[in-house]
Structure 1
Amino acid sequence: MRLHALLTAAALCAGPALAQEAPQNAHLEHLGHSGLGKPVDLRDPQHRRVAQALGQSRAAAAPAPKRTGSIKPGGRTSLNPRLVAERRGYKRVSSLVNFPAFFPGIGVVYVKPDTLPVGPFLSFDRKDRLVSTIYMLPLDQMNERKRFEAETGFQGARVDHTTMYFNEGHPGVDMPHYHYVLWHVSKKNEALVAK
């Protein structure tokens, strides 16, 4: 009833000619064409929340389908980021060189072999969550004031904070270099890769 009154008031404000030309139920036809008049699917989590807020029983809602990833805005399911990285050509560093499968403080590290030594290196926790993107900048190239350009690891991945620290060298990048780390988790959640 309120919707009808609001739409009628809006039509009158738009001008008397428009209000006279529009049929009595024109606003209802518009709702059907705009998609707002489509039936509610209670399997959709957003519709289920609205139904629950309106007091409909939870029993009426069908169980939600199982999802393999997180839900992005708009209700789309994201894939496991580690699997996405592998499909994009990233390899586990431990399969390329003598490097631990899980390195405390960094995590499970992936890289595209053709981007060595700079990277990006993608760091995951034990549950395949993307924790950080690491660039390894050789000290001799930094001393030459070389400009570094590298592709982004996961385009659009939110960066919470960054750290930069020196490393003497390790398998895969054996020369002295700096780790430039873009953390995709909070400082508190860095503990996801602590052990």
Structure 2
Amino acid sequence: MIKPLFLSAAFLATSVTFAVAHDEKALLQSPPGDPFVQVSKVLPLPDFLPGLGTLFVDPEKLPAGPFLAYDHDGKLSASVYMTPLEDLQNGTAYDDLAIGMHNVSSVDVYYNAGHPGVEKPHAHVVLYHDPEAKERLAK
């Protein structure tokens, strides 16, 4: 049921070029616009996930992402990647992943057992875009 929702969103986004993802200024404030969809609008997740914020993703870029993470004020705070461990163990490489913003102040990598949207055990790779981002996303 979840995958069809993402596929439907992906079909809607096919008429839009991915160029907006490379336009950093277009992504700085929530909502980022097409082809990104708010994760909580298509999956049974809260609008704001403590530690990750309000997430948007281009369904065509699943499972890795990037998921764009916005704080409570709608400021882009992090780019998040969710890479399934099984895929990595089987040799899948996630090359040339887009980023929400070129400025990165720190990176966290941690295990996640799975959740709606990325059900398999995976690694979260979180690129924080400013020194206060992690704190803003925690609340």
TM over 0.5: yes
- Name the aligned partner's letter for residue 157 of structure 1: H
The one-character-per-residue Cα deviations of 1:8-66 (angstroms, maximum 9, x if unpaired) are xxxxxxxxxxxxxxxxxxxxxxxxxxxxxxxxxxxxxxxxxxxxxxxxxxxxxxxxxxx
Q: Secondary structure at the match of 2:32?
A: helix
Name stretches of at least 5 consecutive residues in structure 1 with no aligned partner. Answer: 1-77
Q: Which amino acid aligns with 2:28?
A: P
The percentage of aligned residue pairs carrying the same residue is 32
Structure ranking higher in helix proportion: 1
Q: Which has the higher contact order (CA 8 A, sep 6+)?
A: 2
Residue 102 of structure 2 is aligned to residue 157 of structure 1:
yes
Q: Following the alignment from structure 2 to structure 1, what is the Cα–Cα distance between the partners of residues 134 and 92?
A: 30
Structure 2 partner of 1:194: 138
Distance 2:50 2:30 in 1: 21
Q: What is the identity, as a one-letter code, of the residue corresponding to 1:82?
A: Q
* Distance in structure 2 (CA, Å) of the matches to 1:84 and 1:151: 20
Q: TM-score, structure 1 length as denominator?
A: 0.55
Higher strand share: 2
Larger Rg: 1
Contiguous gaps of at least 5 residues in structure 2: 1-24
Tell me which residue corresponds to 2:3. none
Note the C-alpha offset of 1:145: 2.6
In the alignment, which residue of structure 2 is the partner of 1:112?
58
The 4+ residue runs of structure 1 with deviation greater than 6 A are: none
Matched, 1:139 2:85: yes
Task: State the number of aligned residues.
Answer: 115
Aligned-residue offset at 1:173:
0.5
Partner residue of 1:170 out of 108, 115, 118? 115
Alpha-carbon distance in 2 for matches of 1:79, 1:138: 28
